Structure formats: C-alpha cells, structure tokens
Chain A
Amino acid sequence: MFFQDIGQAVLLFCRALRQWPAVWRERQKVWEQLHEIGNASLFMACLLAFFIGGVLALQTGPVMSDRGVSNFIGGMVGLAMCKELGPVMMAVLISGRIGSAMAAEIGSMQVYQEIDALRTMNIDPVRYLVLPRLVAIVVGLPLLVLFAVVVGWMGGALVCMSNPEINLTYNGYMNSLSNMVRVGDVANGLIKSIAFAVVIGVVSCHQGLNTIGGPRGVGRSVTKAVVNSIVMILMLDYVLTRLMIRL
C-alpha cells in the first residue's frame, strides 16, 4: 500500500510539473497559501527552533567544557541546526500543520464532489488545487528553515551565556560558529528542505485527492498524509545527507 501510494504520488508530482507554466496565472492562490503557511507556523517554528538550539547547547556544553573544547560548542550547535535539525524539525512541524490541512481541504472537496464539479468545468484539479499548494510550500519551507536556523543559533547562544556550567561567552560562541559553519552548510540544509517540501506537498495533496468515503475518509487521508510524509522525510533525510556529505 505504502509503495503504491508513493508511485501514485510521483505521478501526481509529474502532472503538477507539467502544469508549471500556469504558476504565474495562479499567483494569487500561491500567495494565499504562503500566507497560510506563515500564519500557521511562524510562531511555532520560532518556539521550536529556539528550544532545540538551546537544548543542543545544554546537552553538549557542559561535557565539552569539561574536556576543554568549549570553543567548538558554537560550531557544533551551528552545524547541527542548519544541516540537520532545522530542516528536519521544520519539515515535521509543517507536515503536521500544513500537510494535514492540505489533505483535509482537498479530501473534503473530493468527498463533497467539488473536485468532480471542477472536472466537469474543464478545470484541472492539479492546476487549480495542487500546483499553488506545491509552489507555496516549496517557497515557504526553506524560508521558514532559514529563519528557524537563525533562531536556533540564538537559542544556543543564550544557553551558553547564561549557564554557569558552560564556559563560553557570546562572542566565543559566535566566533566558533562562524569559524565552522560555511555558507555551503546552510545551503545544504535548504536543499534538503526543498526536497522535504516537495514530499509534504505531493503526499498530502495525493492523499486528499484519493479520499474515499465520507468524513471518516477525510480523517484517514489526513492521518496517512502526515504519517507517510514524516516517514518519507526521515528516510530521504538519510539519503540526502549521504549524497551531500562532502559538499
């Protein structure tokens, strides 16, 4: 079942790609979706990233201070945040907040024959519904990740400054961070997040379009959209990390 879903989702992605020239015409809907993503997740992303950065510093800081390598803490938190935790945690958050909403909205349109109505009017549901959502999430998620990475770095800095067991100043943290983190590392995370965005958008829209049955079917689609997205994100994360390890 899972693999069949993946196959169909890939097909949906190809159909959406073929509609690519229509993006400009759908800009209004893309904009609305972007707003939705921003409104629903900016605050949550901020909170989440701040605490992740903080806890990273808290877990590693005392140990590294004891061993006299506290000047690596900033770099460690910086790299972990931008290459791994920023993209993955934001993708998980967005699949819960936005992927679920996409599956629910499109799923209920399917159940209430709204998609059939679009098809009778010769309006391609892929162009009308899937394309704007896909474009919005592919633009929105990397921006959110960039923002989260910076907030996470700040969270780490705050913990290092305020915790007496960690022997590091703000300037020391920032120096360490800027010494170890290259622009390429941030780009690495952003590339991952683009891939994750495609996964979330395609999987959620696919589950929505394939909804059968009434409200219960919508519930099933939402669950599957979120679970499948997260599973695929974590698997893809390993593959992408392996591919980009020396980049």
Chain B
Amino acid sequence: MKSAPTSNGGGVPVVIRGLHKSLAGQPVLCGVDLAIEPGEIFVIMGPSGSGKSVLLRHIIGLTSPDAGEVLIGGESIQSPSVRDRIRMAMVFQSGALLNSLTVAENVGLYLREHALLPPAQIDARVAEKLAAVGLTGQEDKLPGELSGGMKKRVAIARALVVEPQLLLYDEPTSELDPMMAATVSREIVALQRRLHVTSIIVSHDRDLAFGIAHRLAIIREGRILCVGTPEAVRALPDAGVREFLDANFKHA
C-alpha cells in the first residue's frame, strides 16, 4: 500500500528558495530564502502577522507559492511522492485536532491510518506520548472538552507519535504556563536528540528560542531580517532586530 515510510531515516535538509506569496491581493512572503540543516532545531521569530504561519504552510506543502520553491531532502514538497518518502508532522497554531475523534484517537491517528503498529502497541505509544505532555487520563475526552493549552499539548503529542524526519511547530508554547512550556521544550530537544529530527519552530517565546535553537531567524513583513546562532543574533546591532528582541513591559 502507498503509505508512510516505516522507519525514520533521520532528519532531512530543508531548502527554501525565493519564496513569494500574495494572499487576498496583499504580499505576505516577499522572497524568503533559508537553508536548514538535517537535525537542526531552527527557530523562526517575528511580529504577529509577519507571515510565519504562512511560511510554515508552504514548507509542509499545504499552500503552493506564487514563485520560488521548497525542497525537502532535495525533492520539491509539491511533488506527490515526497510524503510517501519522508515522514513529516506539523503542530498547528490552533491545534487542528479532529473534533469528532477523542484525544487518544487523535494522537493514534497516524499510526492507525498507516497501519504501522498493532492496536495494542498503538495504545501504549499514545499513552506514553500523552504522559510526556502531562495529559495522562484524558484519553477519552473530545477536543471540545479541552482547554486551549490542553488542545495544543494533544497536538504536540500527535506530532511526536509520528516520529517524523521533519517536524514543524507553530507556536508550541504560546498557550502554556511556564512549567508546561519548559516541559514541551524538553520534549522537542529530546526528540531531536533521539531521532535527529529536523525541527522548525515558530515562536514568540524568547526563552524557548534562545534556550533550544541551534540557529534562529527573524522574519518581518515577509522578509528574513537575519539568520544565525542565538549568540550571533543577540549580538546584532540592527535596530529592527534589537527592537523585537528587547521589547519589554515597562512602567511609563
């Protein structure tokens, strides 16, 4: 059967070249170029509305660009066979859980649909991943009965279960308390260590970004402002970068 690859062959490189996209007549991405190494944790930061979610949708092939291309492991994401060859997963900003399935069914969906494991082992794997995001005992709830942060954690568990070669996270910690955010960050790093997965994380969370990123990029109005290691980016004198990174709540 045409299905997902049965084993994880390690992280894949991602190359983004000259990506342009206009939505509803407005330019959203204006020439994005990035090269992400296999097994890298790459964080993308940027102000709200700067096109981060749209960029992630292009990387995983949900939206096709007006110009430019995305290569996953050397193959265009738009080619039909790439998904059969490379395991990918994405944590959507809204979670995007299937509302008619329970938490456990959502998390086990990938394994079940591709018949990768016998049912008993799927249940065990699901329980393990739910435990990793602190949701033991919530297996039989429906997404409608969960809080925003719980939905996000189920979505993360659903992505972890895939054991992907490329994993995209859209603001994985935005709705979580600081402790849970730290747990999730640890899981992201643990998965990367264990499977050498290429992780692309969109986040506003500066602790997460500077804590776990191998490299990070800052995007603004559809353009990449800078790319580099956390130390390098922190040391940049560029005013736009500084303004974004140093923003703080101050009493007037």
Contact = CB atoms under 8 A, between A and B. Distances in A.
**A and B held together in a complex:** yes
B113 A119 contact: no
Interface string B91-114: 010101111100000000110011
Interface string B62-88: 100000000000000000000110011
Interface in A114-133: 114, 116-123, 128
A121 B113 contact: yes
Nearest to A123: B113
A121 B94 contact: no
A109 interface: yes
B114 A122 contact: yes
B113 A114 contact: no
A122 B92 contact: no
A114 B84 contact: no
Contacts of A121: 89, 109-110, 113, 162
A109 B162 CA distance: 21
Contacts, number: 49
Contacts of B109: 121, 123
Contact of B62 (A105, A112, A119, A128): A119
Contacts of B3: 122
Nearest to A114: B98
B60 interface: yes
A113 B57 CA distance: 11
Nearest to A108: B99
A123 B92 contact: no
Contacts of B90: 117, 120
B104 to A, nearest CB: 16
Nearest to A26: B113
Given A121-B113, A121-B162, A122-B84, A116 B4 contact: no
A119 B3 CA distance: 12
Contact of B83 (A109, A112, A117, A122): A122
B145 to A, nearest CB: 16
Contacts of A119: 61-62
Contacts of B84: 122
A124 to B, nearest CB: 9
A117 B110 contact: no
Given A123-B110, A123-B113, A117 B98 contact: yes
Contacts of B162: 121
Given A121-B89, A122-B84, A128-B113, A113 B4 contact: no
A134 B196 CA distance: 41
B114 to A, nearest CB: 7
A113 B110 contact: no
Given A121-B89, A121-B162, A122-B83, A116 B114 contact: no
B98 A120 contact: no
A30 to B, nearest CB: 15
A116, A119, A122, A128: residue with the most chain B Cβ atoms closer than 10 Å: A122
Interface string B1-31: 0011000000000000000000000000000
Given A114-B99, A128-B113, A120 B94 contact: no
A116 B113 contact: no
Given A121-B162, A123-B113, A128-B113, A116 B62 contact: yes
14 contacts: A105-B100, A108-B99, A109-B98, A109-B99, A113-B96, A114-B98, A117-B98, A119-B62, A120-B60, A120-B62, A121-B89, A121-B109, A122-B88, A123-B109
Interface of A: 105, 108-109, 112-114, 116-123, 128
Given A117-B96, A122-B84, A128-B113, 6 more contacts: A114-B99, A116-B62, A116-B96, A120-B89, A121-B109, A122-B88
